[in-house]
Structure 1
Amino acid sequence: MALQEYLGAIVMEIDGQEVEIESLDVTFKTGRKLVKTMNKTGRAKGFAKGVAEYDLKVTAVIPVSGDIDWGSIEGAKITIYPVSAGGKRTSYLDCFTTDAGSKYTVDGEAKRDLTMIALREVIE
């Protein structure tokens, strides 16, 4: 059996500028909604299509100087690509920040916890 290589670490760029991140969580919401109707079976019978969205949760480390103004990001392109060769690049387009917070712990580095939304995903 041949040994498989899996995607590991990633690099994140915002509008072409590399950003130091600790973690990235991407959630795709289909936008579908359950449609409840009154019928003798007493259960829902279908769904309605809605608007899809991509939620990004980013944890970035805070540099001593040159930190990004995370709260003002609008219309950004975020590109994720694997450190090793062979993987595909994924870009999230028309991104904007909805929440930005800071986290400080006694044992670790200062971090930013961010919630962003992207309008489109493109696999290159």
Structure 2
Amino acid sequence: MNSKGGTLLPFILTQHKDNTMSDATYAGAIIMEVNGRDVEIISLKPQTTTGRKPVKTMNRQGRVMGYADGITEHKLSATAAIPIDGTEIDWGNITRAKITIYPINKEDKRVSYLDCFSTEISEQYEADNEARIDIELIALHKIVE
């Protein structure tokens, strides 16, 4: 809320290489490769944890004076439509999968998460939409190509 009682909404500006500004960056297709089979991802929420921790030392100021580097971890929350073509995917035993986010713009680079493995799965059914599955994954590598 701002001082006048209205709600503040986030506004994203992206500056491109030719110094033009656009309102947002859009993702194209998101594809997960599992055992040589491509699965289209409906939504993907990547979360990177840096692993940095504050170092608390005895000092007169009584505050943190630095940090220690840690191990970076990439957690992914993906939602996919359950395929109806008859082939079954063992969602709980996904290992060494690859998830690639393809950009709409030719100038932008695609982002790939490699060696993904599943940690949690949950199914979702709605009357109006197709059956979906929510997958929690951890990726060992993130590559910007």
Fold shared by both chains (TM-score > 0.5): yes
Displacement of 1:57 in angstroms is 0.7
Q: Which whole-Å CA distance do the structure 2 matches of 1:43 and 1:106 have between them?
A: 54
Deviations 1:39-93 (A, max 9, x none): 3322211111000011111011112232421211112222222356444222211
1:43 aligns with 2:85: no
Q: 1:102 maps to which residue?
A: 123
1:32 aligns with 2:52: yes
Aligned to 1:9, the other structure's residue is in SS state: strand
* 1:75 corresponds to which of 83, 88, 96: 96
Aligned to 1:56, the other structure's residue is in SS state: strand
Aligned to 2:92, the other structure's residue is in SS state: helix
Q: 1:12 maps to which residue?
A: 31
After superposition, the CA RMSD in angstroms is 2.5
Q: 2:16 maps to which residue?
A: none
Given the two structures, how large is their TM-score scaled by the length of structure 2?
Answer: 0.72
Q: Which whole-Å CA distance do the structure 1 matches of 2:89 and 2:29 have between them?
A: 19
Displacement of 1:121 in angstroms is 1.0
Q: Which whole-Å CA distance do the structure 2 matches of 1:17 and 1:63 have between them?
A: 11
Change (3 A) 1:68 1:103: same
Unaligned ranges ≥5, structure 1 = none
Displacement of 1:94 in angstroms is 1.6
* 2:74 corresponds to which of 43, 54, 58: 54
Aligned to 1:122, the other structure's residue is in SS state: strand
Given the two structures, how large is their TM-score scaled by the length of structure 1?
Answer: 0.82
Change (3 A) 1:3 1:94: closer
